[in-house]
Amino acid sequence: MIEMNKTAIGIAAGVAGTLFIGYCIYFDKKRRNDPEYKKKVRERRRRNKKTGAAKSGIPNLNDHEAIERYFLQEIQQGETLIARGDFDSGVEHLANAIVVCGQPARLLQVLQSSLPAQVFAMLIVKMQEFGNRAAEGNDGPISLGQSSGQPLDGAKIIESSSGAIIDDLE
C-alpha cells in the first residue's frame, strides 16, 4: 500500500509539472503574440538606443529593478571571473556593482572579508581611479575602465588597511 502511494504521488507530481510547463508556454506565446507587447518592446529598444543605455551597460538609475538586476549581474560576473583567475576583469565588474550599490560601505566590508587581500586592494585602487575621475569633473558616461590619469596617492592607505602591497599587483 505504501508503494502505491509513492507511485501515485510521483505520477501526480509529474502531471502537475507538465501542466505548469504547458501553462507557462501557453501564456508566453499569448504574451509574445500580443500587439501591445510588441509595441512596448519596440518602444523600450528605441528609448535605450536614444539614451545609449544599451552601449554603456549602466541601467537607468531611476529604474530600481534594472539597477538591482545590473548589480546582481555584475557581482556574479565579477565572482566568476575572479574564480577563473581573471582578476582585472573581475575587479572591474565588482567596481561597477559598487557604483550602483545603495550601501557601498557595507558591500566593501563583505568583499574585504571574502576576497583575497591582493584582489581587494585592486578593487580599492579601481574605486580610487573612479573617484579621481569624478573629482576632476569628468561629465562623460560612467566608465570604470583603465584610467589615463595620474598615479594614485592612496597606495599607503591600501597597504595598511588590507595588508597587501600595491607594487605586487602590476
* CATH code: domain of residue 96: 1.20.960.10
The mean pLDDT value for 32-47 works out to 85
Determine the length of the chain. 170
Q: Report if residue 85 sits inside a domain.
A: yes
Q: Same structural domain for residues 16 and 36?
A: yes
- How distant, in Å, are the alpha carbons of 87, 92, 96 from that of 77? 11, 10, 11
What is the domain extent for residue 85?
60-134
For residue 131, give the C-alpha cell: 573617484
What is the longest distance spanned by two Cα atoms in the chain? Answer: 78
Question: Are residues 158 and 166 in contact, defined by beta-carbon separation less than 8 angstroms?
Answer: yes
* Residue 163 covered by a domain: no
Among 49, 50, 67, CA closest to 58: 67
Query: 94 in a domain, yes or no?
Result: yes
Q: Decide if 116 is inside a domain.
A: yes
pLDDT value of position 148: 38
Q: Is residue 26 part of a domain?
A: yes
Q: What is the pLDDT of residue 157?
A: 34
Q: Would you give the distance in Å from CA 11 to the centre of its chain? A: 40
Residue 44: pLDDT over 80: yes
The pLDDT value given to residue 37: 84
Write down the pLDDT at residue 147: 38
Q: Are residues 89 and 69 in the same domain?
A: yes
Q: Which pLDDT score, from 0 to 100, does residue 51 have?
A: 63
Q: Which residue has the higher pLDDT, 37 or 91?
A: 91
Residue 156 lies in a domain: no
- 107 with 91, same domain? yes
- Is 0.85 topped by the overall pTM? no
Q: Which long-range contacts (CB under 8 A, 24 or more apart) does 27-33 make?
A: none
> In whole angstroms, what is the distance from residue 27 CA to residue 33 CA?
10
Contact predicate 109/142, CB 8 Å: no
In the prediction, which pLDDT does 90 show?
A: 92
Q: Is the pLDDT of residue 48 over 80?
A: no
Supply the pLDDT for residue 124.
Answer: 92
Residue 83 resides in a domain: yes
